[in-house]
Amino acid sequence: MTKNNEVIMFNSNEAAQYRTGLSGWVSRNGIYYGNDERAARYDGCTHVTCEDCGKPTSRGWLVCHDCIGIRDKKKYESMPKEAWDEKGMLYSQSADKYFSDWGEIDDYCDEEDIKIDSLMLVICKPNYLPLLDIDYGCDELPEDGELPDEIVEAIKDFNAVVKEVGAVSWLPSNKAAIIPLPDKPTGEK
Protein backbone atom coordinates (compact mmCIF):
# COMPACT_ATOMS: atom_id res chain seq x y z
CA MET A 1 0.00 0.00 0.00
CA THR A 2 1.19 3.48 -0.86
CA LYS A 3 1.08 6.00 1.93
CA ASN A 4 -0.36 9.38 0.99
CA ASN A 5 2.78 11.41 1.54
CA GLU A 6 5.23 8.81 0.23
CA VAL A 7 7.63 10.06 -2.45
CA ILE A 8 8.03 7.80 -5.49
CA MET A 9 10.92 8.97 -7.66
CA PHE A 10 10.69 8.80 -11.43
CA ASN A 11 13.60 6.42 -11.66
CA SER A 12 12.63 4.23 -8.71
CA ASN A 13 11.57 0.59 -9.09
CA GLU A 14 8.12 1.41 -7.74
CA ALA A 15 7.23 4.05 -10.34
CA ALA A 16 7.01 1.45 -13.11
CA GLN A 17 8.19 -2.04 -13.82
CA TYR A 18 9.00 -3.83 -17.01
CA ARG A 19 6.80 -6.90 -17.26
CA THR A 20 6.94 -9.85 -19.60
CA GLY A 21 4.47 -12.55 -20.59
CA LEU A 22 1.35 -10.43 -20.08
CA SER A 23 -1.76 -11.40 -22.01
CA GLY A 24 -5.25 -10.03 -21.84
CA TRP A 25 -7.42 -7.13 -22.93
CA VAL A 26 -5.98 -3.63 -23.21
CA SER A 27 -8.36 -0.75 -23.86
CA ARG A 28 -7.85 2.02 -26.39
CA ASN A 29 -6.59 4.12 -23.48
CA GLY A 30 -3.81 1.63 -22.79
CA ILE A 31 -5.31 0.26 -19.59
CA TYR A 32 -4.80 -3.47 -19.04
CA TYR A 33 -7.97 -5.37 -18.07
CA GLY A 34 -6.77 -8.98 -18.06
CA ASN A 35 -9.67 -11.26 -19.00
CA ASP A 36 -12.33 -8.55 -18.58
CA GLU A 37 -13.07 -7.91 -22.24
CA ARG A 38 -16.27 -6.03 -21.45
CA ALA A 39 -14.60 -3.53 -19.13
CA ALA A 40 -11.74 -2.99 -21.59
CA ARG A 41 -14.15 -2.38 -24.46
CA TYR A 42 -16.24 -0.05 -22.33
CA ASP A 43 -13.17 1.96 -21.32
CA GLY A 44 -12.03 2.25 -24.93
CA CYS A 45 -15.35 3.00 -26.61
CA THR A 46 -17.16 6.29 -27.11
CA HIS A 47 -20.55 4.74 -27.96
CA VAL A 48 -22.61 1.73 -26.91
CA THR A 49 -25.61 0.10 -28.59
CA CYS A 50 -29.03 1.52 -27.61
CA GLU A 51 -30.87 -1.13 -25.56
CA ASP A 52 -34.12 -0.44 -27.41
CA CYS A 53 -33.34 0.36 -31.06
CA GLY A 54 -29.70 -0.67 -31.47
CA LYS A 55 -28.45 2.72 -32.70
CA PRO A 56 -25.03 3.99 -31.50
CA THR A 57 -25.57 5.83 -28.22
CA SER A 58 -23.09 7.93 -26.26
CA ARG A 59 -21.34 5.97 -23.55
CA GLY A 60 -22.97 6.54 -20.16
CA TRP A 61 -26.53 6.14 -21.53
CA LEU A 62 -28.48 2.88 -21.83
CA VAL A 63 -30.79 4.11 -24.57
CA CYS A 64 -30.51 6.75 -27.30
CA HIS A 65 -32.13 10.17 -27.16
CA ASP A 66 -35.14 9.10 -29.27
CA CYS A 67 -35.74 6.00 -27.17
CA ILE A 68 -35.53 8.01 -23.92
CA GLY A 69 -38.46 10.03 -25.31
CA ILE A 70 -40.38 6.86 -26.19
CA ARG A 71 -39.72 5.33 -22.75
CA ASP A 72 -40.76 8.56 -20.99
CA LYS A 73 -43.98 8.70 -23.02
CA LYS A 74 -44.83 5.06 -22.26
CA LYS A 75 -44.16 5.62 -18.57
CA TYR A 76 -46.36 8.73 -18.60
CA GLU A 77 -49.18 6.91 -20.38
CA SER A 78 -49.10 4.12 -17.78
CA MET A 79 -49.57 6.62 -14.91
CA PRO A 80 -52.96 6.78 -13.18
CA LYS A 81 -54.94 9.80 -14.41
CA GLU A 82 -56.79 12.27 -12.25
CA ALA A 83 -58.72 15.52 -12.69
CA TRP A 84 -56.75 18.52 -11.45
CA ASP A 85 -58.39 20.61 -8.70
CA GLU A 86 -56.83 23.76 -10.29
CA LYS A 87 -55.71 24.90 -6.83
CA GLY A 88 -52.18 23.56 -6.79
CA MET A 89 -49.66 23.29 -9.59
CA LEU A 90 -49.15 21.12 -12.64
CA TYR A 91 -45.70 20.03 -13.79
CA SER A 92 -44.75 19.38 -17.39
CA GLN A 93 -42.39 16.42 -17.62
CA SER A 94 -41.33 17.27 -21.15
CA ALA A 95 -40.83 21.02 -20.65
CA ASP A 96 -39.60 20.79 -17.04
CA LYS A 97 -41.95 23.65 -16.14
CA TYR A 98 -44.60 24.32 -13.50
CA PHE A 99 -47.98 25.83 -14.33
CA SER A 100 -50.64 27.27 -12.06
CA ASP A 101 -53.62 27.44 -14.44
CA TRP A 102 -54.90 26.18 -17.79
CA GLY A 103 -54.64 29.63 -19.35
CA GLU A 104 -50.92 29.72 -18.67
CA ILE A 105 -50.62 26.28 -20.24
CA ASP A 106 -52.58 27.36 -23.34
CA ASP A 107 -50.36 30.44 -23.72
CA TYR A 108 -47.23 28.31 -23.43
CA CYS A 109 -48.52 25.87 -26.05
CA ASP A 110 -49.26 28.78 -28.43
CA GLU A 111 -45.82 30.34 -27.84
CA GLU A 112 -43.97 27.07 -28.35
CA ASP A 113 -46.35 25.85 -31.05
CA ILE A 114 -46.90 22.50 -29.33
CA LYS A 115 -49.94 20.40 -28.43
CA ILE A 116 -51.01 20.24 -24.79
CA ASP A 117 -50.66 16.42 -24.78
CA SER A 118 -46.96 16.72 -25.50
CA LEU A 119 -46.42 18.53 -22.19
CA MET A 120 -47.00 15.30 -20.23
CA LEU A 121 -48.63 17.14 -17.33
CA VAL A 122 -48.63 15.62 -13.86
CA ILE A 123 -50.43 16.83 -10.74
CA CYS A 124 -48.15 18.23 -8.03
CA LYS A 125 -48.26 17.53 -4.32
CA PRO A 126 -47.88 20.50 -1.96
CA ASN A 127 -44.98 20.77 0.47
CA TYR A 128 -45.74 22.50 3.76
CA LEU A 129 -43.32 23.86 6.32
CA PRO A 130 -43.03 21.53 9.32
CA LEU A 131 -45.10 22.32 12.40
CA LEU A 132 -43.47 22.58 15.82
CA ASP A 133 -44.09 19.42 17.76
CA ILE A 134 -45.76 19.01 21.14
CA ASP A 135 -42.56 17.44 22.47
CA TYR A 136 -40.50 20.49 21.44
CA GLY A 137 -37.66 20.95 23.93
CA CYS A 138 -38.15 17.55 25.59
CA ASP A 139 -34.40 16.84 25.42
CA GLU A 140 -33.62 20.08 27.24
CA LEU A 141 -36.41 20.06 29.84
CA PRO A 142 -36.03 18.10 33.08
CA GLU A 143 -37.85 14.78 33.28
CA ASP A 144 -41.61 15.43 33.71
CA GLY A 145 -40.81 19.10 33.10
CA GLU A 146 -43.29 21.21 31.15
CA LEU A 147 -42.81 23.96 28.60
CA PRO A 148 -43.42 27.50 29.89
CA ASP A 149 -46.94 28.70 29.00
CA GLU A 150 -45.57 31.52 26.79
CA ILE A 151 -43.73 28.92 24.71
CA VAL A 152 -46.84 26.72 24.41
CA GLU A 153 -48.81 29.76 23.22
CA ALA A 154 -46.03 30.81 20.83
CA ILE A 155 -45.92 27.31 19.35
CA LYS A 156 -49.70 27.40 18.79
CA ASP A 157 -49.40 30.81 17.10
CA PHE A 158 -46.44 29.69 15.00
CA ASN A 159 -48.23 26.54 13.86
CA ALA A 160 -51.32 28.58 12.98
CA VAL A 161 -49.20 30.85 10.74
CA VAL A 162 -47.54 27.85 9.08
CA LYS A 163 -50.99 26.43 8.27
CA GLU A 164 -52.17 29.82 7.00
CA VAL A 165 -49.15 30.18 4.70
CA GLY A 166 -49.96 26.80 3.14
CA ALA A 167 -47.84 25.19 0.44
CA VAL A 168 -44.34 26.60 0.03
CA SER A 169 -43.31 24.37 -2.87
CA TRP A 170 -44.66 21.66 -5.13
CA LEU A 171 -43.44 18.19 -5.97
CA PRO A 172 -44.59 16.30 -9.08
CA SER A 173 -46.68 13.27 -8.10
CA ASN A 174 -47.11 10.03 -10.03
CA LYS A 175 -50.59 11.07 -11.21
CA ALA A 176 -51.13 12.38 -14.72
CA ALA A 177 -53.54 15.29 -15.14
CA ILE A 178 -56.65 14.70 -17.24
CA ILE A 179 -56.68 17.31 -20.01
CA PRO A 180 -60.11 18.98 -20.13
CA LEU A 181 -61.90 19.02 -23.48
CA PRO A 182 -61.96 22.44 -25.12
CA ASP A 183 -65.14 24.43 -24.40
CA LYS A 184 -67.88 23.98 -26.95
CA PRO A 185 -68.29 27.26 -28.83
CA THR A 186 -72.09 27.39 -28.38
CA GLY A 187 -72.01 26.37 -24.75
CA GLU A 188 -74.65 23.70 -25.47
CA LYS A 189 -74.54 20.18 -24.09
Nearer residue to Zn ion within complex by CB, 48 or 132:
48
Residues between 45 and 64 with contacts to Zn ion, criterion CB under 5 A: 50, 52-53, 55, 64
Q: How near is the Cβ of 63 to Zn ion at its closest, in Å?
A: 5
> What's the chain look like in SS3?
CCCCCCCCCCCCCCCCCCCCCCCCEECCCCCEEECCHHHHHHHHCCEEECCCCCCEEECCCCCCHHHHHHHHHHHHHCCCEECCCCCCCEEECCCCEEECCHHHHHHHHHHHCCCHHHHCEEEEEEEECCCCCCCCCCCCCCCCCCCCHHHHHHHHHHHHHHHHHCEEEEEEEEEEECCCCCCCCCCCC
Min dist. Cβ of residue 104 to Zn ion (A): 33
x/- site string to Zn ion, residues 64 to 103, per CB under 5 A?
Answer: x--x------------------------------------
Q: Smaller CB distance to Zn ion: residue 68 or 147? A: 68
Residues that bind Zn ion (CB under 5 A): 50, 52-53, 55, 64, 67
